[in-house]
Amino acid sequence: MLQWLFATLHLLALGCGLGALAARARNLAPPLDAPALTRCLRADNWWRLSLLLWLCSGAGLAYYHAAMLWQQGRPVPLATAKLLGMMLLLLLEWRSRPLISQCRQRLERGRLPADELCARLARQSRRQLLLLLLLLLLSSAWQTGAFNTP
């Protein structure tokens, strides 16, 4: 029962995260105004919540499926690729945090962020979105057993 709950939360968080990243990137498109920036920051809040749920539920699923991570004393290549992709996603998120903070601070002061700052954040968001889609492809390939031949 708990495994089913983790899987449900994992898929729900993935869907919310994909939508939030897409909204964050879309709302940073020029011409930027205060309402669009507010929507971008709201989407970022949803992305952070879904990322937290996604990581926690993924850790719970990994606990239940620990045997799937290793076969014949070696790590499964797709599992390793997925873990490396998740680390890259977290690195990209860590790099985008200062950009988001700058946007929040400028909006609180009643100013709009510079176009270059918004363009960098939009590029980061698109990269994260593509990486999240790649992780989805890796996960589905892993769960179906593709490329897991000994």
- The CA-atom distances, in angstroms, between 144 and each of 8, 120, 138, 147 are 18, 36, 10, 9
pLDDT of residue 72: 67
pLDDT of residue 68: 65
Q: Interhelix angle for 77-108 vs 115-144, to 10°?
A: 160
Task: Dump pLDDT digits (tens) for 7-38.
Answer: 888 889 989 999 999 999 999 888 888 898 99
Q: Which two tokens stand for residue 51?
A: 């990322």
Please give the share of the chain, as a percent, with pLDDT higher than 70: 88
